[in-house]
A and B are shown apart, each in its own frame.
Chain A
Amino acid sequence: MFGLNSKDTRAFLLIAALAMLAPILLNPFPTGSALAQFNAGYPDLMQRFVIFGIFAIGFNILFGLTGYLSFGHAAFLGVGSYSAVWMFKLLSMNVVPALILSVIVAALFSIFIGFVSLRRSGIYFSILTLAFAQMSFNLAYSVFTPITNGETGLQVYNSDPQYLMAEGDPTVTHFFGLEMRETFTLQLGGWSFDFAAGYYMCALLLLAAFYLSVRIFRSPFGLTLRAIKSNQQRVNYTGLNARPYTLAAFVISGMYAGLAGGLLACMDPLAGAERMQWTASGEVVLMTILGGAGTLIGPVLGAGFIKYFENIFSKINDTVLHQWFAFMPDGLENVIVTIVHPFIGKGWNLTLGLMFMAVVIFLPGGLVEGGQRIGKLFSKRIPSDAASAAGRPSE
């Protein structure tokens, strides 16, 4: 379908189904029930899932294919957000020009940074991108205050010109009149599902982004990038100059980040410098690695996983824990709650750090590799037959 082979089509359809049905799938518990706190099907959170999914897909095009570990990708996200908000301030609250500009600005910015940083590889590349991102972060806080509004963050005011704003246009972000926050709520028995316009726009863009990344992965260009990852010297010896390819990958992933940043601003017309901080760059690295770098759906999984558990874990507190373990004898209950306590609520980052370390140590392929291993356990016989068949030399 659309030039994808059957396996990729299946992956694409899986993502499409997940994205389209997310408001239902993520709300498995009735609204009033005790488990309702595990529901993640409200628009605000789902939008973050898909936006960070886009961000991680883009990062994966660079890191997964070429192996260049950038620690400064949040800079592009921040730049995208700033340009989107500027479009809201100058033109109108329509999201289309905002998204277009954020992608373009992020592309220009990443051409510049990529051109300089890609002259070095390995750890030097990581440090260069880190240096650039920190530099942009510091500048956004200090000198560029007229553009970025410093610590307050950039936002839309009534006094802004908004030249294209017609009479009666919505004053919130909209797609040609369709307001992003417009939500259709479906009540079904005890369940309630929210279908938000903003979420579906993000989801469609995620699908487009995913489709594009599949095509890149399967294209000759993608193959060249993989060749660069496995042995850059060899690529050079075959007469290919690696740098234009890596730069193209860098810029593409920068544009994905810009799109994600623009979308963040579309859902909530605010932009702050903290989006560019290097911890934010670290987050997208975590997402990609956790899901599985170099795989197609890994980054989306990783982004969803981290954002979901961030939300859930931060909500759990001691009272909830006491409810859960209430069936135990009192002493044991208290001991368990005390043990679990550091990992929940504000301690969510501790859990994340431990999980991340565990993945890097034991599962370098991330969740996707974990899934494959579990899959292999259940279908042991067939692969071992296939393996022995493959091992036999052909006569």
Chain B
Amino acid sequence: MDALLLQIMNGLDKGSAYALIALGLTLIFGTLGVVNFAHGALFMIGAFCAVTMQKILTLSATTYDPLKLDFLGNPAMIKTPYVNTWFSEDFGALLIDWSVPLSILLAIPVMIGLGFIMERGLIKHFYKRPHADQILVTFGLAIVLQEIIKYFYGANPIPMPAPEMFKGSIDFGMMIGFDANQVIYPAWRLVYFLFSTVVIAAVFAFLQFTTFGMVVRAGMADRETVGLLGIDIDKRFTLMFGIAAAVAGLAGVMYTPINSPNYHMGMDFLVLSFVVVVVGGMGSLPGAVLAGFALGVLQSFASMNEVKSLLPGIDQVIIYLVAIVILLTRPRGLMGRKGVMEE
């Protein structure tokens, strides 16, 4: 039982990332009808927002201490981050320690802005063109974004530490009544899971309980009628693109302590997220979230040693297998809407 719980939890953090990316993909697809192959790149750029934030916070003034010598005999170099001098020493250290969560503040405006530019500058011109063209141009864009990041940040993964408070593991089993040392789980992954549930809840609440969200939902159901009612639906959809980009970016920011960001992490996640969207059902937001978590958990079960000895290699292919089976038996996916992507 505890082993089972551990596997479920192991799957949840990856599942959260899948769910967040798939949610963004579905938002874009459901509103604008565009298949965005650059969404993985947005996830990656979010992660690099965290890297940038850390770099900004650790910008340092360099001073030399003539009394101390380093091993070459030169005066020792002392780096003091500007935040330490501006604020108090303790508060500066705290800021640096919390640089990953703080990056959210940077990532949201950056990602929404990027989403705006992408939609207005490029994707707008592709509404009338076939899906193949949309795939191709966003695929090209993904390559470009990825290469730009590679140019500025290099090709190696950049390790990003989680705040000191969440660095270790916590004994999650004890909290819910198991024996000690049975279900031990890295604290940050739990944070990631909670964070993604909050983001997902926020997106759904935004769509469900605000007037803006209501209009967007109406537009998703019938764009033309909403337009006829005198509402400028395009403007709202552009904002939704920005929000979708921000969701992917946030997923990327918070994922950095789990997996050091590198420039091609987006591509790796993109393929799987597409599979998730297809399993969940093209255009269905709850479907995307559900399938994201379900496939994450499924993958972690498949990588259990007991399963692997029974079916070698199953952990590598389980997601794809599920997707193939679903597509062939239930082309609409788990919760797909009628009439979406069915020529």
* Residues of chain A at the chain B interface (Cβ within 8 Å): 67, 69, 116, 119-124, 126-128, 130-132, 134-135, 138-139, 141-144, 232-233, 278-279, 282, 285, 289, 342, 346-347, 349-350, 352-354, 356-357, 360-361, 364
Contacts and interface: CB of A to CB of B under 8 A. Distances in A.
B132 A130 contact: no
A135 to B, nearest CB: 4
| Majority secondary structure of chain A interface residues (helix, strand, loop or mixed) | helix
A144 B271 CA distance: 22
Contact of A349 (B35, B131, B143, B320): B143
A127 B137 contact: no
A289 B137 CA distance: 11
A130 B268 CA distance: 12
Interface string B133-148: 1011101111110111
Contact of A123 (B125, B131, B267, B275): B131
11 contacts: A116-B324, A130-B271, A131-B275, A135-B320, A139-B317, A144-B313, A347-B151, A350-B143, A350-B148, A353-B142, A364-B129
Contact of B143 (A138, A356, A361): A356
Contacts of A138: 313, 316-317, 320
Interface in B210-230: none
Given A69-B135, A119-B328, A357-B140, A349 B343 contact: no
A99 B271 CA distance: 31
Nearest to B314: A143
Contacts of B142: 353
Interface in B326-343: 327-328, 331, 341, 343
The 4 closest A-B pairs by CB, nearest first: A143-B313, A353-B143, A138-B316, A350-B147
Nearest to B141: A357
Contacts of B321: 135
A132 B324 contact: yes
Interface in B288-343: 312-313, 316-317, 320-321, 323-324, 327-328, 331, 341, 343
B313 A142 contact: yes
A141 B137 contact: no
B253 interface: no
Given A69-B132, A122-B341, A127-B275, 7 more contacts: A69-B135, A123-B35, A124-B327, A131-B275, A142-B313, A143-B312, A364-B133
Contacts of A361: 122, 125, 137
Contact of A126 (B135, B141, B282, B320): B135
Interface in B271-287: 271, 274-275, 278, 282
Q: Which interface residue of A119, A279, A282 has the most chain B CB atoms within 10 A?
A: A282
A360 B147 contact: no
A278 B141 CA distance: 16
A195 B127 CA distance: 50
Nearest to A119: B328
Nearest to A357: B140
Given A116-B328, A141-B316, A350-B148, A279 B267 contact: yes
B140 A360 contact: yes
A144 B131 CA distance: 35
A353 B139 CA distance: 8
Nearest to A359: B140
Contacts of B320: 131-132, 134-135, 138
Nearest to B312: A143
A137 to B, nearest CB: 9
Nearest to A282: B139
A349 B141 CA distance: 11
Contacts of A67: 132
A120 B327 contact: yes
Contacts of A142: 312-313, 316
Contact of A289 (B136, B147, B151): B136
Q: Which interface residue of B35, B131, B278, B316 has the most chain A CB atoms within 10 A?
A: B316
A360 B137 contact: yes
A124 B271 CA distance: 13
A121 B132 CA distance: 11
Contacts of A282: 139
Contacts of B274: 127, 130
A105 to B, nearest CB: 20
B144 A127 contact: no
A353 B141 contact: yes
Contacts of A233: 343
Contact of B151 (A128, A139, A350): A350
Contacts of A134: 271, 320
A314 to B, nearest CB: 13
Nearest to A349: B147
Given A131-B324, A139-B317, A350-B147, A124 B140 contact: no
A375 B186 CA distance: 64
